[in-house]
Structure 1
Amino acid sequence: MTQTTSDTTAAHKLSLPALIAMVIGSMVGAGVFTLPQRFAVQTGVWGAVIAWAIAGTGMLMLAFVFQSLAVRKPQLDNGVYVYAKTGFGVYPGFLSAIGFWASACAGNTFYWVLITSTLGPVVPAFGDGDTIWAILVSSAGIWAFYLLIMRGVKEAAAINTIVTIAKLVPLLLFLVVVIVVFKPDVFVANLTGGYDTGGDSLFSQVSGTMLVTVFVFLGIEGASVYSRYAKKRTDVGRATVLGFVSVLALFALITIISYGILPKDEIAKLRQPSVGSVLEAAVGPWGAWFISAGLIISVLGAYLAWSLMAAEVLFAAASDKDLPRFLAKTTAKKVPGNALLLTTLMIQALLVIVYFASGALDFMLDLTAALALAPFALVGMYALKIATTRDGYDGVSEEVRRREIVVAVLTVVYTLFLVYAAGLGFSLLACILLAPATILYGVARREQRGRLFTVPGWIVFALLIIGAIAGIVGLADGWISI
């Protein structure tokens, strides 16, 4: 496969620091500010340590997969989508693209819910981010960002680099302050999370944290998504791994040291953003306000990055003729305008759903993570496929190839475990969202006068429809809720 656009010039290329900033900016968003409360609901210190060890190992393997694929398949751009297509066919590749895109849209919806929820104490009309006023303000925000990004991808990426630096300051201050006021006796009392006193088993506790760890790591594919903008192809893998290691250390520290400030049960009841509530317990009300300001900066920066990535995925799929051609159109400033418009419309629709959802914040977080699981699993499976068949390994030593096989296997195992941890309900909800999107695939195939499905494609489509029907029945009967 060739580069998706032939007119990407040096003026639009991103350096290694800019790519690293894009990866960090994509991951360090709203999720990090919710970690203490989300973890305390599920587990104590030991469970948190194990959860981050599992998530860190699994996501590091995924980062290594992206790194190796950037080297083994340098001709493939926009990795999340094209790896699935190249390895398993047009329709699975389409579903991977749409799944990743829908995940980004749900994540951006979560961002606006959290912003308005954070402002709730100041503007009571916003409530928990799910009132009509909150949705109207959020809607104005998403269209303002649409206009900003339409000015040009390069300009938006530069803004994101600045925002990434600015938003790390309150989080680093949080770490310093909380370490200073750390209470060892409180920390020790929070070690088990209750598994030794008749509560949930340690395995159940750890499983319950998996979706939030996926959510906060979404964006690990950022450098790969922006591969066609990299000045040097080798920078793609470096940016992914360097960004990941930095973010893992930040997430784990924020989660674990919070157990040294308040009892687990109290942390579990904190208002989001719980990082601010923990800091408030440590230093007083100014802590909550300081973190809230940092959260808003963080979320706006992450929203910018995720909007770019979502539109980029649609643009790449359309450029490869797997989505309707209108999504491949760009503006004079090289912005995929129609893809960005469809992305913004999807976020707008999800904001409307928020009004009817119960526990909108947690629901959108978990849905975002669940939608990303299949695309990530397919990336791992593709890496395993090319390593076992020696595709792209000419001149590579057997030792290196075997090591990359192990990494790919661990990635696949990890992502399948995440599917199990997410539960059947979110898998069926994902089917409900993905099944109608197949209409876009059908339009694209008609434009190309191509065969709609191969036999495996028909099987995948049938399973998707069955899942969507089961999901609708589940919503109607009440055993799946939003």
Structure 2
Amino acid sequence: MSQVTATEADQQDAPAAKLSLFTLAAMVVGSMVGAGVFSLPRRFAEETGVAGALIAWAVAGAGMLMLAFTFQLLAVRRPDLDAGVYAYAKAGFGEYLGFFSAFGYWASACVGNVTYWVLIMSTVGAIWPALGEGNTALAVVLSSIGLWAFFWMIRRGVKEATAINKIVTVAKLVPILFFVVLALVYFRADVFAANFHGADYAGSLFGQVRGTMLATVFVFLGIEGASVYSRHAKRRSDVGKATVLGFLSVFAIFASVTIVSYGILPMGDIADLRQPSMAGVLQAAVGTWGKVFISVGLIVSVLGAYLAWTLMAAEVLLVAAKDDDMPRFLRRVNSVDAPVPALFMTSLLIQVVLVVTAFSDDAFNFALDLTSALSLIPYLLAAAFALKIGTRSDALTVGGRTSGRELAVAVLATLYTAFLLFAAGLKFVLVSFVVYAPATVLFVMARREQGRQPFTARELVILAVSVAGAVLGVIALAVGWISL
């Protein structure tokens, strides 16, 4: 997960700038390559060895490729929908589920931003032990200061971050590629072979693969980057091409970072590294300078990514409010066009989750897994929408009913995202409900502003399910059935 530059709110009616295939592909790469990749060695080593990692990346690669093809299909077949994931859910399944998709996408971006602060504090914590692994009281306080400093900076009009984004792109790609090359140079075949079948603490192969799924979702967040900006494309067909091209590029990077690490250290040692584990692996290969190099690159990258994803999260609320799916107060912008109410809500949720991480046994993995779990509903609804237009006649679908190949892609993407919900496990599904259900207050506020009934009969059923899930989640947390 990394940066996506927010669309300017005041350009809704202006002619859209036209972006090339290369630029759109760069957006996809920029959206996906971020903090998550720096954590991959430890996250995979905690769950599986080389064999399980290869299978996990094959499953994730195939599944995410189907999801990329799905966004390609929807970009061509439904060119009238320009807001990406959120628009597909609303068009396919109604306003309430569309609201949930918008809220879930926003919430996942906010929680994802928490991983940035945890990772920064954990990185600095290597030389300042009081910060621990990013979840001590001091780490939370310093992160909170940084969080609100960014809020005040952005509300003063810092909305275009072109110069920062250029630095960020170099800061994150150069260290990652450098890591892969050096890891190959210092690669030890005997260590790799010993890691092949996994350590004693690894369970069944299926369990190992399942345990890595949320990590793969997290690093692939942003795969819809080109879709979000589809109205700016020179050609609609470029949106899908950019999505697939960008996905294949980052897939190669992610898989390489994971696999080469198994040739440097025993997986048990990798699993014990502090985050960012990529720094620890490189330190084992080349010495302290390697750790410092990765750590500096990570901090620069993460700060820039935090700025851009904060803007993106606020933009989601702003657009949803302009579509009457969120309360009108979220439409407000100040004299320098900063969406202050949306920014405040974004910062507030980040703050709440930051405090929660102080009570977590593993703050980074908790925030990572929750980010992934919250994003699954929007992705599942987008895939299901592609399946829906593939099985029913729709006057709005360009070219008529979808082909057999397109239908197969939609089926596989839907099955994959449904499997990811299973892989997330009951714990994170229930915690997601705890986040989703209270958000309904915003939906009710928007309906009342429009003089409409809060819910239809069908929406009441969805409400009942979400509230029941949230209540069960709160009880499970309170009595200790699940823990953070």
Pairwise same-fold verdict (TM > 0.5): yes
1:174 aligns with 2:179: yes
- 1:319–1:325 CA contact under 8 A, matched in 2: yes
Say how many residue pairs are matched: 476
Deviates more, 1:134-143 or 1:415-424: 134-143
What is the deviation of 1:8? 4.6
* Correspondence for 1:443 among 439, 442, 445: 445
CA contact (8 A) 2:10 2:337 kept: no
Question: Using the alignment, how far apart are the partners of 1:442 and 1:16 within structure 2?
Answer: 40
Q: Deviations over 1:413-468 (max 9, x none)?
A: 00111111110111111111111111000000000111221222111100001001
Cα separation, partners in 2 of 1:383 and 1:331, compared to 1, 3 Å: farther
Aligned partner of 1:61 in structure 2 is: 66
Q: Mark the CA change 1:393 to 1:91 in structure 2 (over 3 Å): closer, same or farther.
A: closer
Q: Which amino acid counterpart does residue 54 of structure 2 have in structure 1?
A: V
Shift of 1:349: 1.7
* 2:363 aligned residue: 360
What is residue 299 of structure 2 aligned with on the other side? 296
Q: Which residue of 2 aligns with 1:350?
A: 353
Within 5 A, what are the aligned runs for 1:224-263? Answer: 224-230=227-233, 233-263=236-266
Relative to structure 1, is the Cα distance of residues 204 and 471 closer, same or farther in structure 2, using a 3 angstrom cutoff? same
Match of 1:164 in 2: 169
Shift in Å at residue 93 of structure 1? 0.7
What RMSD, in angstroms, separates the aligned Cα atoms of the two structures? 2.2
Distance in 2 separating the partners of 1:8 and 1:238: 26
SS at match of 2:262: helix
In the superposition, the TM-score normalised over structure 1's length comes to 0.93
- Contact 2:24–2:239 (Cα < 8 Å) also in 1: yes
Deviation at 1:19, TM superposition (A): 3.6
**Paired residue for 2:83, among 78, 92, 101?**
78
Q: Which residue of 2 aligns with 1:462?
A: 464
The equivalent of 1:380 in structure 2 is: 383
What is the match of residue 114 of structure 1?
A: 119
Separation in structure 1 between the aligned mates of residue 92 and residue 58 of structure 2, nearest angstrom? 30
- Structure-2 separation of matches of 1:23 and 1:158: 18
Match for residue 142 of structure 1? 147
Please tell me whether residue 103 in structure 1 is matched to residue 127 in structure 2.
Answer: no
Return the offset for 1:134: 1.6
CA deviation string 1:168-213 (max 9, x = no partner): 001111111110111111111111114xx79511111100100111
Aligned position for 1:189: 194
Question: Which residue of the partner structure matches residue 35 of structure 1?
Answer: 40
Are the equivalent residues in 1 in contact too, given 2:16–2:232 (CA < 8 A)? no
Letter of the 1:221 partner, please give it: E
Which stretch shows the higher mean deviation, 341-350 or 415-424? 341-350
In structure 1, how many angstroms separate the alpha carbons of the residues matched to 2:9 and 2:144?
Answer: 31
> Is 2:420 aligned against 1:418?
yes
Matched with 2:55 is: 50
Q: 1:410, CA displacement in angstroms?
A: 0.6
Q: Do 1:160 and 1:304's aligned partners in 2 also have CA atoms closer than 8 Å?
A: no
Counterparts of residues 465-480 of structure 1 (less than 5 Å): 465-480=467-482
Q: CA deviation at 1:316?
A: 1.7
Distance 1:314 1:232, change over 3 A: farther
Deviations along 1:114-145, whole A, 9 cap, x unmatched?
A: 10111002222212111232222212322333
* Structure 2: gaps spanning 5 or more residues: 1-7
Counterpart Cα distance in 2 of 1:46 and 1:437: 41
Aligned pair partner of 2:372 in 369, 374, 386: 369
Shift of 1:14: 5.3
* 8 Å CA contact retained: 2:71, 2:227: yes
> Could you tell me how far apart the structure 2 residues matched to 1:293 and 1:198 are?
33
Q: Give the aligned partner of residue 5 of structure 2.
A: none
- Cα distance between partner residues in 2 of 1:45 and 1:321: 49
- Deviation digits for residues 315-361 of structure 1, max 9, x if unmatched? 12111101101112334555433222211121112112222222111
TM-score normalised to structure 2 length: 0.93
Q: 1:326 aligns with which of 329, 343, 351?
A: 329
Name the structure 2 match of 1:429: 431
1:155 alignment partner, SS class: coil
Q: Which amino acid aligns with 1:191?
A: F
Q: Structure 1 residues 153, 66: closer, same or farther in 2, change over 3 A?
A: farther
For 2:415 and 2:16, locate their aligned partners in 1 and report how far apart those are by CA, in whole Å.
41
Aligned residue for 1:119, secondary structure, equals: helix
Kindly, what percent of the aligned residue pairs are identical?
A: 59
Distance 1:314 1:41 in 2: 36
**Residues 81, 153 of structure 1: alpha-carbon distance in 2 compared, 3 angstrom cutoff:** farther
| Helix, strand or coil at the partner of 2:81 | coil
1:84 touches 1:93 (CA, 8 Å); kept in 2? yes
Q: Counterparts of 1:291 and 1:247 in 2: how far apart (Å)?
A: 18
**Residue equivalent to 1:266:** 269
| Structure 1 position 92, deviation (Å) | 0.6
Is contact 1:431–1:471 with CA below 8 Å preserved after alignment?
A: yes
Q: Could you tell me which of 200, 206, 209 is aligned with 1:206?
A: 209
* In structure 2, distance between residues paired with 1:332 and 1:230: 29
- Note if contact 1:26-1:222 (Cα within 8 Å) is conserved in structure 2: yes
- Give the Cα–Cα distance (whole angstroms) in 1 for the partners of residues 123 and 201 of structure 2: 35
**1:284 corresponds to:** 287
Offset at residue 393 of structure 1 (A): 4.3
Structure 1: distance between partners of 2:336 and 2:22: 23
User: Structure 1 counterpart of 2:446, which letter?
Assistant: A
Residue aligning to 2:411:
409
The verdict on how the C-alpha distance between 1:142 and 1:11 changes in structure 2, with shifts beyond 3 A counting, is: farther
Is this contact kept in 1: 2:387–2:411, CA < 8 A? yes
SS in 1 for 2:187: coil
**Alignment partners' CA distance in 2, 1:362 and 1:14:** 36
Quickly say closer, same or farther: Cα 1:342–1:18, change in 2 above 3 A: farther
Distance 1:148 1:248 in 2: 34
Pair 1:26–1:395, CA change in 2 (3 A): closer
Shift of residue 154, structure 1, vs aligned partner: 6.2
Quick check: 1:339 aligned with 2:373? no
The equivalent residue for 1:22 is: 27
